[in-house]
Amino acid sequence: MAKEYENPAATATIVVERDNKILFIRRKHAPYQGRLALPGGFLNYKKETLERAAQRELCEETKLRANQKDLYLLCVNSSPRRDPRDHVIDHVYVALATRGEPHARDDAAEYVWKDISEIPKRLAFDHNKAVRKYLVWRESN
């Protein structure tokens, strides 16, 4: 079948909170190399759901594991300019429970727990927007 439309890529990002702190990774690669970001990455086309991509990326980057039943879709960020590489639609999940201790792996140079009161002003991509939405969601639940 001929492709009639150009379609954006999809990513899954995940918010993990423990002890009033949010888990970030420091990006090992461009774009935003060296900047803090929420764990996440691209959906494997025709191979997985967004929920599975969120679980996989969390494990690949931090070694933490989250069950699908413990994931909650927080928001979708779709600005055509949110990722400098291309038009990428991000699906942000909250992990209500995780297992294991984090270790920086894959695209993560390191992992960092940041107190909710000390979230950096400049995160990679539009992850500040995702964190703000998470804090509003957190207050209402």
| Confidence category of residue 107, pLDDT binned at 50, 70, 90 | confident
| Confidence category of residue 50, pLDDT binned at 50, 70, 90 | very high
For every residue of 17-81, which 3-state class applies, written as one string?
Answer: EECCEEEEEEECCCCCCCCEECCEEECCCCCCCHHHHHHHHHHHHHCCECCHHHEEEEEEECCCC
Residue 4: pLDDT above 90? no
Domains and CATH numbers, the chain: 10-140 (3.90.79.10)
Kindly name the residue from 6, 48, 61, 110 that is annotated as catalytic.
Answer: 110
The pTM (predicted TM-score) of the whole model is: 0.94
What is the reported pLDDT for 106? 87
The answer, yes or no, to whether the previous bond of 31 is cis (omega within 30 of 0) is: yes
Active site residue 48: no
